[in-house]
Structure 1
Amino acid sequence: MTEKIAVLGAGSWGTVLANLLTENQLEVALWTHKPAQVPEINEQHTNQHYLPDFKLHEALHATADLAAAVKDATVILFVVPTNAIRSVATQVSALLDETQRPIIAHAAKGLELGTKLRVSQVLEAVLPAGRYQGPVVISGPSHAEDVATRDITTLTAAAADEAVAKKVQQLFMNDYFRLYTNTDVIGVEYGAALKNVIAIGAGALHGLGYGDNTKAALMTRGLAEITRLGVKMGANPMTFIGLSGVGDLIVTCTSVHSRNWRAGNALGQGQKLPEVLANMGMVVEGVSTAKVVHELAEQQQCEMPISNAIYQVLYQGAPIKTVITDLMAREGKAESDFGVTLQVVPNKV
């Protein structure tokens, strides 16, 4: 019997992952909260708003009925914006019976506003204990547009139980899509979330006309900040030199496919944040994550000058050139000064 996978969220990433799983000869139910998407996906086999001109597999089935989507699913994959996870998970929790015990996975990249929780923590807080396996985090350097064209892509599947991560790994792998397993859920989720903040900064630098030297400086010192906070929160520092750390940071800070980069680029060109978000037409995770990171850094007494500068631009109206000047005028320090003890614990990857 073919396994059934429920993919919750019919944006660009959810649609591409659902299509990939369908190509892997799995039964896939793609749930959308927008009923108007259903006939387009099922009859025209397109999702033009999110993936213009991309043809979907004819066997991919979309539905606006959440109960129908998750019924008999062996894996339920959440691919909705971070701040919608709690709402959708609350609906799913009422639909899980005692015998189903599906694997719960997510491919979101952010931190929840208000609670400052990672996505897996939100899922664990909402879903009934004992009625699911996981959660598993799927993350790494990936743009939906590139996966749609079968560009070679490698990601991480992270779970506390490596055996559960391996089950997800096997479902996704094919000749252009490869997953590695990891047990550092904390590190993978912080890497995924925090790189979006740095990517806004990278876009802003491009919009202002800065070159490759500046981009490299931002990404390198941004990675130091990501590692600094991640380790304080319990992550393995080695995770941040992997796919969900430096890998995701590279692709998000250098690609026009990145919403966070595009938002930053527009800010650098002089547009105001409300205008930028209105024109994007999709959620820019880094904007809300910047607020959460600012609060976490203060709470943990963690020095994150670049992230704080981006927060000042987004939420306090600080001119970008002013915060750049302030960053460059900071007192000199050693490159190896992370402000935390980097105790290396090898991951099983």
Structure 2
Amino acid sequence: MAKLPPPVARLRAAVRGALADLPADSLVLVACSGGPDSLALADTLAFCAPRMGLRAGLVTVDHGLQDGSDERAAEVAAWAGTVGLDPVEAVAVEVGVAGGPEGAARTARYAALDAAGRRHGAGAILLGHTRDDQAETVLLALARGGGPRGVAGMRAVRGRYRRPLLGISRADTHAVCAERGLKPWNDPHNTDPRYLRSALRPAMDVLVATLGADLVANLAQTAALVGADTDYLDGVAREALEACRAGGDAGAGVADGAVAGGLDAKRVAALAGPVRQRVLRAWVLEAEVDGAELNHRHLDAVDALAADWRGQGPTFLPGGIEVRRSGGKLTAVAATGEPGSQGPRLARADRPEPGQH
């Protein structure tokens, strides 16, 4: 019996580990663009799933951003049928403009995957992000000043989404494609410097050459360590949020146009900075603040209403929400004025603050 090539063995072990907790006969969908990473993952899932008593299908998303993208999606779907994946869908989406080209494409892609997961009752959806992708994510977060939440990078499990390859190198996925006779598509966007992640890759090669081959693995390990700390502090913050709600319960304080229950400002101010920032972030997200637009300056301004109270007026947040302090309580309401009308009252939002988000 021929020995299994090590890259193939590593991918199969990673996929089996990622799916080990699923009940028998669960459906697992894999998101596959046809590139080396997702194609190797899809091929590995097709092998592992039936041997684990699971069903496996595939979804390929056609973003419509390149000539012939519909044909490539059809080719991926046709290939999936030959390896026993079922159900198989090629889903065309319309990519908007909000969040820039990368962000808009990501939003459209996840919306399509979410819909497919609901439609088929999938127990899990697999994504093909590798250890190299994780390392790039950490560097981008550092460059943007993203704080611990950004440095924690992509999570191995987030809801029904799972990333089995976060501990697998990009070189391994390419090797699996070669070993298995797969013919991946190389997306020209992956080398287009107009896209920030693509522009980073040549720089990553320079960093590896300068700092050593362990750089990628060490960055990915950093994400895992910071992620564990972040998860712990988020848990502490969830408990603290309940304790800080005005009136002491989740339903208290929703009145007079408020879009979220009020918070006791003194209780919030007494929290340790990292916990306080997380409490405030979770609270404003309850008020349907646009999380994609929320940044540390917004949170610093809200934090100042609790921990650096000097009689300042409300601060405005993305999504048309303003946070006010009155009678010792923080309240989030639908904004009634223009942010610019607050003048210097909002200036403190520009102050650097060592809080963690």
Provide TM-score, normalisation by structure 1: 0.31
Provide TM-score, normalisation by structure 2: 0.31
Largest Rg, 1 or 2: 2
